Amino acid sequence: MNLALAAGDLRALGAAGRMSFRTLRRYPANFVGQIFWPVMLPAVWVLMGQAYSGGGDREAIDAFAARSGTSGVTVFVFVGYAMYMWLSTLLWGPGTALRQEQIRGSLEAVFLTPVSRLVPLFGPTLTNIVWVLFQLLVMGLAVWLLFGVVLPLQGILLTLLVTFAGLPAMYAMGSLFGAAVLRFGEVGPAVQFVRGGLSLLCGITFPIVMLPAWAQTTSAAMPPTYIVAAIRDVLLKGATPLDLGPTAASLAVLAVAFGAVAIVLFRVLEASARRSGMFGRY
């Protein structure tokens, strides 16, 4: 009986993934933004880096390398912005999926089905990987074609490995945000605030050592910090799969922690909603 229920939930999870994939295909104009921003945002920061370094002044570049561990400003920035784009698609997509269902009036209907509540919580995250991989491809091409940086093959493969290792933690974080925003209501400002905060904390545009000590401690509890650092290590310092072990372990712990908090928060909200009938209101 339990196996039959689990199989049913898995089918529903697959259906939720197909639904979000179909929605994604219906708005092809979004692809324009998914090419424009992953190229233009980091490109501008690379040029800012050239301005701040005096066009590659040795002293300035050495100072940057002492703080970031690398003199490869271009790849440093592009990797950071890969995470920024991932956060954007995560927070605007799966992070707001429950809220979108609520606005469309379909959230109550979904909750009347007998599937596990985890299906609507985690289902929309399944197609997010399409954007993440697409953006990585676009940015890899941009860094090569615009700035002449050829990424090492082993680094590219390990970047994909790090991305997949980071998926559960990132999605757990996105689901926590999705559950929280359901209660908070205002999606746009919440996305801006959370994305802005994580961008500052996780070393996206500047080395983490530039932050005060308390902020560095906070950043250690955020999955993007580990993913960004690991991708920079494999692309810029030639880190091997063995070197990535501690990162994978940290990400696994954070996935469990964020996932558990998301599930608990979602259950609390659901119980509250059953009493107040708030799922139909926004």
Partner 1 sequence: MDELRAALAIAKKDIRNVSRYRFSVASSIFTPLYQGVLPGLLFGASFAVGGKAVGLDKTIGTADLAGFIFMGGVISGLVATAFWAMAMSFRNEMEMGTLEPTWLTPTARETLVIGRALGGMFWFVFSTTAIFIVGVAFFGLRLRAEMLYAVPAILIAIVAMVGVAYLIAGVVLSIRDANLFVDCANFLFSVASGAAFPILLLPGVLQPIAYALPTTYAMDILRQQALGTRPLVDPAVEYLALIASTIVLIPIGLWAYRRADGRIRRLGTINQY
To the nearest whole angstrom, how small is the minimum distance from the Cβ of residue 137 to partner 1? Answer: 20
Which residue, 18 or 58, is less far from partner 1 as judged by CB?
Answer: 58
- If the CB atoms of residues 19 and 146 are measured against partner 1, the closer one turns out to be 146
The interface mask with partner 1, positions 45-84, x = CB under 8 A, is x-xxxxxxxxx-x-xxx-xx--xx----------------
Nearest-approach distance from CB 69 to partner 1, in angstroms? 11
Query: Please, which of residues 1-40 interact with partner 1 by CB under 8 A?
Result: 29, 32-33, 36, 40
Residue 231: name the closest of 164, 177, 282, 170 by CA.
164
Contact call for residues 38 and 135 (beta carbons, < 8 A): yes
- Using only the alpha carbons of the chain, give its radius of gyration: 20
Question: How far, in Å, CA of 85 to CA of 227, rounded?
Answer: 13
Give the integer Cα–Cα distance in Å for 94 and 17. 11
Q: How far is the CB of 50 from partner 1 (least distance, A)?
A: 5
Nearer to partner 1, 55 or 277 (CB): 55
- Buried (b) or exposed (e) across 81-115, using 16+ Cβ within 10 A? bbbbbbbbbbbbbbbbbbbbbbeeeebeebeeeeb
- Name the residues that contact partner 1, by CB under 8 A: 29, 32-33, 36, 40, 44-45, 47-55, 57, 59-61, 63-64, 67-68, 186, 189, 192, 196-197, 199-200, 204-207, 210-211
